[in-house]
Amino acid sequence: MLTLYKVKVNKLLITGFLVFCSLRGFSTCIAIYVAENGHIYVAADSRRTFFFNDGKDNNKVESICKIHNVGNNYFAISGFDDGGLLKAATIALQQNQNIDTAITSFGTAMSKRYKQLMGDAKLFYPDKFRHFLKDGLADVSFFGFYNGTASVVNVEFFCSLDKDDKVITTYKIHPIMALTVIGLSRDITNAKPEDLPTAATMKQRPELYVEALVKIEAKMQPLAVSEPIDLLELKPDGAVWIRKNEDEAVTY
């Protein structure tokens, strides 16, 4: 009986530790813009803040690149369990040649993963679990050129509780026409016109335009969004890294 009790306790401790590892990092602010020249411009902050930690270092951060690709298919990650998002997106793109099928496969896989993780988070971290119910789980943008046309598609993940207080995870797919900001964007939305990059910048220097949007969040939310800001210009014939952080997210 004592042995069985120890096994149950150890299982709970191990499960709690896995939740801690998987959900500890989250990405913050990424702006993606399809400019008038038909190119896709992406700016992403590189700060990774630890949502779950061991209590010894509440200010622990890392610097990572949040823009990734599998061949000509690109994606940017903003959300909890960024390592899991990276792995699932990579597998989906490797296993599916059609981008729409790949995105659906990714959404299904991550929704299943999140259901397990959120079930454990609800059990072991009930206070922090409420943040997931309020703010959602993740935003991932897939972008590239298909049949010669620029395409940006967002995938949003949500968490809720059913009438029996059981965890439900869902995802929604949103095609983007020209501009999207994933992660933190409240300060951009609420910014005064004079604080936003100009229309001339948007038209003539689109790479500076997306960078300026991310800098607004960095200025207002310095503990969540910070430089260096990675900049990518994606053309029909390939990508040009204007600036890139070489550190990659860790998968779990």
The domain spanning residue 28 has which CATH number?
3.60.20.10
Q: Tokens 């939740």 identify what position? A: 19
Q: Taking the CB of residue 177, how many other CB atoms lie within 10 A of it?
A: 7
Can you tell me whether residue 90 is helix, strand or coil? helix
Single out the residue of 180, 177, 178, 129 nearest to residue 156, CA to CA: 180
**Could you list the residue range(s) of the whole structural domain that residue 73 is in?**
2-52+61-243
The answer as to whether 249 is a domain residue is: no
Tell me the per-residue pLDDT of 17-49, one tens digit each, with 9 for 90 and over: 455 455 544 557 999 999 999 999 999 998 876
**Burial class for 5, CB neighbours closer than 10 Å (0-12, 13-18, 19+):** exposed
Tell me the per-residue pLDDT of 59-96, one tens digit each, with 9 for 90 and over: 567 778 899 999 999 999 998 888 899 999 999 999 99
Instruction: Name the region of 225 (left: φ>0; alpha: ψ -120 to 50; beta: rest).
Output: beta
Q: Output the average pLDDT for the chain.
A: 85
The answer as to whether 248 is a domain residue is: no
The answer as to whether 251 is a domain residue is: no
Model confidence at 4, pLDDT cuts 50, 70, 90, reads very low
> Distances from the Cα of 169 to the Cαs of 55, 78, 98, 174, 178, in angstroms?
28, 17, 25, 17, 28
Q: How many domains does the chain have?
A: 1
Q: Tokens 């960024």 identify what position? A: 82
